[in-house]
Amino acid sequence: MTSDTISERATILLKTLVETHIRDGQPVGSRTLMEEAGLPVSAATIRNVMSDLEERGYLKSPHTSSGRIPTALGYRLFVDSLLQVQPLEREAIAVLRNELNPDKTASELVQSASSLLSNITAQAGLVTVPRQEAGQLRQVEFLPLSGDRVLVILVINEREVQNRIIHTQRPFTEEQLRAAASMVNQRFAGHPLQDVQAQILREMQEARSQIDSYMQAALDLANKALDQEEAEDEYVVAGESRLLEHASPEDMLKLRELFDAFEQKKDLLHLLERCSHGRGVQVFIGEEAGYEVFGDYSVITAPYSDGARTLGVLGVIGPTRMAYERVIPIVDVTARMLSSALSS
């Protein structure tokens, strides 16, 4: 639905109401709206327009006030048709360019991008970890930990290092792990990660009866090391506490549910996976995300790449009452700069 479905006066009043609510965080009454909009109409006329907008689903009235606040539909109309995106400040661009430089590893860039998104927008920033299949295996090391745990050190491409803890079916000595890593490196170093795991799985299935227990253990370790489901950090979140700064007591229950979603990852990962197939900035307002936990929050995302393929998604999560005109370009520019750094 676009702005031509409502009158010019209603469009102006809706835009003013959304901007006023974002700025003040309170329901907007007719007198306040009349002062902010500067239209030569009476408060009664404005009340009639607000009632009409409420009937159309763009506004709603909280139980505690006679004023109105935007609905997800109202925010959607505002973002799609009424929003005037602001150019990013030079200071912010300078900070992004300085922090997202090609000298950093992919892991460092992901951490930096997440923190920058949070710091610049004052919301929660998140970045998915680059997909493994985008790189080549350079080297793997296995180090024994207590019990059945093994520390995996993966060297990917020229600089990227990933550390991961996997659980094995039996304990291994340091010598056994060193031998297993040597075998994996001799056979698979220099090959794309996706091809490596596919080859390992084929060998485990086709030659199970023909390979010795040593080879089987080495392949099993390598398979676990490359398994995306074994990855502990599928995305990095920074600034969750930012969401507490302007939360009312009534917001706390929903905020706890959102923090649980951060921890459990499932819903958020599904949403981010959808975003990875899109182009440019995408804005999900409230229930548009497809999950109840995001009902009072907006998610603004953009994919990032290495110049050849999409590696992941970055974005900002905050209340629906956020400064879209500023957050959208920040997400866009950050994705472009992260892509540039990873392409160098």
pLDDT of 269 above 80:
no
Burial 137-157, CB ≥16 within 10 A → b, else e:
bbebbbbbeeeeebebebbbb
Query: Which structure tokens are listed for 125?
Result: 């920033």
Mean pLDDT of 24-36: 92
Mean pLDDT of the region 159-167 = 77
Residues 284, 267 contacting (CB under 8 angstroms): no
At residue 323, the pLDDT reads 94
Position 73 scores a pLDDT of: 94
Tokens for 47, please give them: 């009340």
13 with 105, same domain: the answer is: no
> What confidence tier does 65 reach under pLDDT thresholds 50, 70, 90?
low
Distance in angstroms (rounded) separating the CA atoms of residues 90 and 98: 12
Final residue in a domain of this structure, among 47, 66, 82: 82
Same domain, 240 and 339: yes
Residues 297 and 267 in one domain: yes
The CATH number for 176's domain is 3.30.390.60
Mean pLDDT, residues 15-38: 93
Whether residue 115 has pLDDT greater than 90: yes
For residues 116 and 263, membership in a common domain is answered with yes
- And the tokens for 150? 């093994």
Look over the chain and give the mean of its residue pLDDT values, rounded to a whole number. 85
Of 51, 82, 113, which residue is a domain's last? 82
**Per-residue pLDDT at 1:** 43
Both 100 and 33 in one domain: the answer is: no
Task: Give the least confident one: 149-163, 295-309, 325-339.
Answer: 149-163
Q: Which residues are within 8 A (CB) of 335 and not within 5 positions of it... i.e. 6 or more apart?
A: 281, 302, 303, 304, 314
Contact predicate 161/171, CB 8 Å? no
Mean pLDDT of 19-34: 93
Rounded to the nearest 5°, which phi and psi values hold at 88?
-70, 140
99 with 119, same domain: the answer is yes
Q: Is the same domain home to 124 and 146?
A: no
Task: Give me the CATH number covering residue 17.
Answer: 1.10.10.10
pTM exceeds cut of 0.85 = no
Q: Is residue 97 pLDDT above 60, yes or no?
A: yes
Number of helices followed by number of strands (H, E) in the chain:
12, 10
Convert 97-122 to b/e letters by CB count within 10 Å (16 or more is b): eebbeeebebbbbbbbbbbbbbbbbb
Which residue range forms the structural domain that includes residue 118? Answer: 90-129+234-343
Average pLDDT over residues 220-236: 69
Looking at the predicted structure, is the pLDDT value of residue 129 above 80? yes
Do residue 238 and residue 336 come from a single domain?
A: yes
Do 123 and 240 have their domain in common?
A: yes
Q: What's the domain count of the chain?
A: 3
